[in-house]
A and B are shown apart, each in its own frame.
Chain A
Amino acid sequence: MTETTSSVAPPAPAAAEKLKFYGLWIGAAVVLLLLPKLFSSGGSLTTFSLIGISIIFSLSYNILLGQTGMLSFGHAVYYGLGGFLVIHAINIIGANKLPIPLPLVPLIGGLTGLFFAMLLGWVSTQRSGTAFAMISLGVAELVASSALILRTFFGGEAGISANRTKVFRLFEWSFGPQIQIYYLVAGWTLLAVIAMYALTRTPLGRMCNAVRDNPERVQFVGYDPHVVRYIAFCFAGFFAGIAGALAAINFEIANSAYLGAVQSGSVLFATYIGGVGFFIGPIVGAIFVTFLSLGLSDLTQVWQLYFGLIFIAVVVFAPGGITGLLMMHRPLLKAGTFGRVLPSYLIAFVPTLAMLIGLILATEIIVFHAVHSGDDSNIKAFGVPFDAANRYLWAMSAILLIGGYFVARRTWTMVGHAWDEATSGAREKGAVA
Chain B
Amino acid sequence: MSTAIELRGVEKNFGITSVIRNVSLTVAQGERHALIGPNGAGKSTLFNLISGYMVPSTGSILLRDEVVSGLPPYQINRRGLSRSFQVTNVFANMSVWENLRCAVLWAAGYRYTFWKNIDNLPEVRERTARILSDINLTARRDVPAGLLTYAEQRALEIGITVAGGANVILLDEPTAGMSHAETERAVELIRRLTEGCTLLIVEHDMSVVFGLADRISVLVYGQIIASGTPEEIRGNPKVREAYLGEEAA
How far in angstroms is the closest Cβ of chain A from B127? Answer: 9
How far in angstroms is the closest Cβ of chain A from B146? Answer: 9
How far in angstroms is the closest Cβ of chain B from A226? Answer: 9
Interface size classification for chain B: 35 or more
Contact of B115 among A12, A202, A216 (CB under 8 A): A202
Q: For residue A146, which residues in chain B have a CB less than 8 angstroms away from its CB? A: none
Q: For residue A235, which residues in chain B have a CB less than 8 angstroms away from its CB? A: 114
Q: Are A5 and B164 in contact (CB under 8 A)?
A: no
Q: Total interface residues on A, using CB and 8 Å?
A: 36
Q: Are A203 and B74 in contact (CB under 8 A)?
A: no
How far in angstroms is the closest Cβ of chain B from A210? Answer: 5
Q: Are B125 and A206 in contact (CB under 8 A)?
A: no
Q: For residue A305, which residues in chain B have a CB less than 8 angstroms away from its CB? A: none
Q: Are B114 and A231 in contact (CB under 8 A)?
A: yes
Q: Does B39 make an interface contact (CB < 8 A)?
A: no
Q: Are A221 and B93 in contact (CB under 8 A)?
A: no
B116's nearest neighbour on chain A, judged by CB, is: A202
Question: What's the Cα separation between A231 and B114 when bound, in Å?
Answer: 9
Q: Does B98 make an interface contact (CB < 8 A)?
A: yes
How far in angstroms is the closest Cβ of chain B from A81? Answer: 23
Q: Does B147 make an interface contact (CB < 8 A)?
A: yes
Q: Are A209 and B93 in contact (CB under 8 A)?
A: yes
Q: Does B102 make an interface contact (CB < 8 A)?
A: yes
Q: Does B105 make an interface contact (CB < 8 A)?
A: yes
The winner among B82, B89, B91 for most chain A CB atoms within 10 A is B91
Q: For residue A9, which residues in chain B have a CB less than 8 angstroms away from its CB? A: 97, 125-126, 128-129, 132
Question: What's the Cα separation between A214 and B153 when bound, in Å?
Answer: 15
Question: What's the Cα separation between A223 and B160 when bound, in Å?
Answer: 13
Q: Are A224 and B74 in contact (CB under 8 A)?
A: yes
Question: What's the Cα separation between A338 and B133 when bound, in Å?
Answer: 36
Q: For residue A223, which residues in chain B have a CB less than 8 angstroms away from its CB? A: 74, 105-106, 112
Q: For residue B53, which residues in chain A have a CB less than 8 angstroms away from its CB? A: 219
Binary contact readout B120-139 vs A (1 if CB under 8 angstroms, 0 otherwise): 01100110111011000010
Q: Are B77 and A222 in contact (CB under 8 A)?
A: yes
Contact of A221 among B122, B133, B138, B164 (CB under 8 A): B164
Question: What's the Cα separation between A214 and B156 when bound, in Å?
Answer: 15
Say whether, besides A9-B125, A217-B160, A224-B74, A209 and B94 are in contact (CB < 8 Å): yes
B91's nearest neighbour on chain A, judged by CB, is: A213
Say whether, besides A4-B133, A201-B118, A433-B147, A219 and B73 are in contact (CB < 8 Å): yes
Q: For residue B101, which residues in chain A have a CB less than 8 angstroms away from its CB? A: 206
- For residues 325 through 355 of chain A, which have their beta carbon under 8 Å from a beta carbon of chain B? none
B77's nearest neighbour on chain A, judged by CB, is: A222
B111's nearest neighbour on chain A, judged by CB, is: A203
B147's nearest neighbour on chain A, judged by CB, is: A433
Binary contact readout A199-236 vs B (1 if CB under 8 angstroms, 0 otherwise): 10111111101101110111111111001100100010
Q: Are B93 and A222 in contact (CB under 8 A)?
A: no
Q: Does A10 make an interface contact (CB < 8 A)?
A: yes
Q: Does B78 make an interface contact (CB < 8 A)?
A: yes
Question: What's the Cα separation between A206 and B89 when bound, in Å?
Answer: 17
Question: What's the Cα separation between A224 and B78 when bound, in Å?
Answer: 11
Contact of B142 among A10, A206, A218, A220 (CB under 8 A): A10
Say whether, besides A8-B129, A214-B92, A204 and B141 are in contact (CB < 8 Å): no
Q: Does B107 make an interface contact (CB < 8 A)?
A: yes
Q: Are B112 and A203 in contact (CB under 8 A)?
A: yes
Question: What's the Cα separation between A212 and B93 when bound, in Å?
Answer: 9
Question: What's the Cα separation between A83 and B160 when bound, in Å?
Answer: 44
Q: For residue B154, which residues in chain A have a CB less than 8 angstroms away from its CB? A: none
Q: Does B90 make an interface contact (CB < 8 A)?
A: yes
Q: For residue A2, which residues in chain B have a CB less than 8 angstroms away from its CB? A: 126, 129-130
Q: For residue B132, which residues in chain A have a CB less than 8 angstroms away from its CB? A: 8-9
Question: What's the Cα separation between A84 and B33 when bound, in Å?
Answer: 62
Q: Are A205 and B118 in contact (CB under 8 A)?
A: yes
Question: What's the Cα separation between A210 and B117 when bound, in Å?
Answer: 17
Question: What's the Cα separation between A231 and B51 when bound, in Å?
Answer: 25
Q: Does A316 make an interface contact (CB < 8 A)?
A: no
Q: For residue A219, which residues in chain B have a CB less than 8 angstroms away from its CB? A: 52-53, 72-74, 77
Question: What's the Cα separation between A379 and B218 when bound, in Å?
Answer: 82
Q: For residue B25, which residues in chain A have a CB less than 8 angstroms away from its CB? A: none
Q: Are A201 and B89 in contact (CB under 8 A)?
A: no
Binary contact readout A159-188 vs B (1 if CB under 8 angstroms, 0 otherwise): 000000000000000000000000000000
Question: What's the Cα separation between A220 and B115 when bound, in Å?
Answer: 24
How far in angstroms is the closest Cβ of chain A from B221? Answer: 27
Question: What's the Cα separation between A140 and B158 when bound, in Å?
Answer: 43
Q: Are A201 and B119 in contact (CB under 8 A)?
A: yes
Q: Are A221 and B129 in contact (CB under 8 A)?
A: no
Q: For residue B119, which residues in chain A have a CB less than 8 angstroms away from its CB? A: 12, 201
Q: Are A203 and B110 in contact (CB under 8 A)?
A: yes
- For residues 222 through 254 of chain A, which have their beta carbon under 8 Å from a beta carbon of chain B? 222-224, 227-228, 231, 235
B92's nearest neighbour on chain A, judged by CB, is: A213
B132's nearest neighbour on chain A, judged by CB, is: A8
Q: For residue A214, which residues in chain B have a CB less than 8 angstroms away from its CB? A: 89-92
A204's nearest neighbour on chain B, judged by CB, is: B114
Question: What's the Cα separation between A132 and B93 when bound, in Å?
Answer: 22
Q: Are B130 and A4 in contact (CB under 8 A)?
A: yes
Q: Does A1 make an interface contact (CB < 8 A)?
A: yes
Q: For residue A433, which residues in chain B have a CB less than 8 angstroms away from its CB? A: 142-143, 147
Q: For residue B112, which residues in chain A have a CB less than 8 angstroms away from its CB? A: 203-204, 207, 223, 227-228, 231
12 contacts between A and B (CB under 8 A): A2-B130, A8-B132, A201-B117, A206-B101, A213-B93, A218-B74, A219-B53, A220-B73, A220-B74, A222-B74, A222-B164, A231-B114
In the A-B complex, the 3 residue pairs with the closest CB atoms: A222-B106, A219-B73, A213-B91
Interface residues of B (CB under 8 A from A): 51-53, 72-74, 77-78, 82-83, 85, 89-94, 97-98, 101-103, 105-107, 110-119, 121-122, 125-126, 128-130, 132-133, 138, 141-143, 147, 160-161, 163-164
